[in-house]
Amino acid sequence: EWLESQPSDVIERVWYPGLESHPGHEIAARQMHGGFGGIVSVQLAAGADAAKHFVDHTQIFTLAESLGGVESLIEVPAAMTHASVAGTTLQVPANLVRISVGIENADDLIADLKQALDRI
């Protein structure tokens, strides 16, 4: 709501299903019984350079490729997030594994990775 209340020459558009102005708000309200989630998108009116400047100057937010939550995440990008760029200069190595560490106990995470590696 705060982002949406900013002047239109600063914020062009806020995308969040919890806002009544969102085109999918009514559907989201029917489907998302526990709340609308924690992902908010915003378009800055001044364009791409302004967006980069905005992101570069946050101090609490951490720049990240994933929009994961507090849980640990793991993926094979070549088969998942980057599958559409296979065969191009943007493709990633097929043996690459992406791990996003969450708030679980570090020893538990290490043990899980170890047991998985031992199975190879």
Task: Give the model's pLDDT for residue 117.
Answer: 47
CA-wise closest residue to 95 among 115, 118, 79, 119:
79
pLDDT digits 0-9 by tens, 35-51: 886 676 676 787 666 66
* CA 113, chain centre distance (Å): 23
Does residue 63 sit within a domain?
no
Number of domains in the chain: 2
In a domain, 1, yes or no: no
* pLDDT band, residue 18 (cuts 50/70/90): very high
Q: Indicate whether 3 belongs to any domain.
A: no
Question: Residue 26 is part of which domain span?
Answer: 11-56
| The pTM of the whole model exceeds 0.85 | no
The amino acid sitting at 42 is V
Sign, CA dihedral 105-111-114-116, equals negative
CA atoms within 13 A on the CB side of 13: 8
* pLDDT in the model for residue 48: 65
pLDDT for 36 equals 86
Q: Which two tokens stand for residue 74?
A: 């793991």
Task: Answer yes or no: is 2 within a domain.
Answer: no
Condensed to tens digits (0 to 9), the pLDDT of residues 59-105 reads 567 556 666 777 666 565 677 778 899 899 998 767 655 556 567 78
Residue 39 lies in a domain: yes
